[in-house]
Amino acid sequence: MAIMLSTPLQLFPAVRIMENGLFQSSGKYSNQVKWKKNSFRTLTVFGCALIAWMGAADLDKFVSLIGSMACVPLCFCYPAMLHYRAIAKTARQKFLDICLFLFGCFAAVYTSYQTLVMLINSPNTPGSSQPPKFGNCVVP
């Protein structure tokens, strides 16, 4: 129950960023814009729920894919880019920043590729990579 009630808190920053790119006005004075934003938020929540439901059997691979695409650049690429722009003065420092950035890009592409291969080649046996069925809850 607590996880369901915390979903708006988790989605708010991402939805706000996407809304700023999609909608020019806030919807404060226009009911049409307000309802477009409400529809967008609803579709976002249902989209996230659908992704969670479809990927429930392969949650480990889904988390690996997110980590490959988001966490590897966060660990290697972004710090190197920030250091290059803000602090690096010598050619050696800039060279090392570029090397670290390229390593991070390579690692992100490689780990994403490996995860996608695992997702594609996962067996389609029941309970392995099939989405969960409704009404199959087992009460202990």
Mean pLDDT value across the chain: 85
Distance CA 50, CA 131 (A): 10
Evaluate whether residue 13 is within a structural domain: yes
pLDDT classification of 63: cutoffs 50, 70, 90: confident
Examine the domain organization and report whether 48 and 81 are in the same domain.
no
Evaluate whether residue 75 is within a structural domain: yes
Examine the domain organization and report whether 48 and 100 are in the same domain.
no
Average pLDDT of the residues in 77-101: 97
CA atoms within 13 A on the CB side of 37: 20
Examine the domain organization and report whether 53 and 64 are in the same domain.
no
Predicted confidence at residue 134, as pLDDT, reads 60
How many folded domains does the chain comprise? Answer: 2
CB–CB of 103/97 below 8 Å?
Answer: no
Domain membership of residue 77 as a residue range: 58-122
Evaluate whether residue 131 is within a structural domain: no
pTM: 0.61
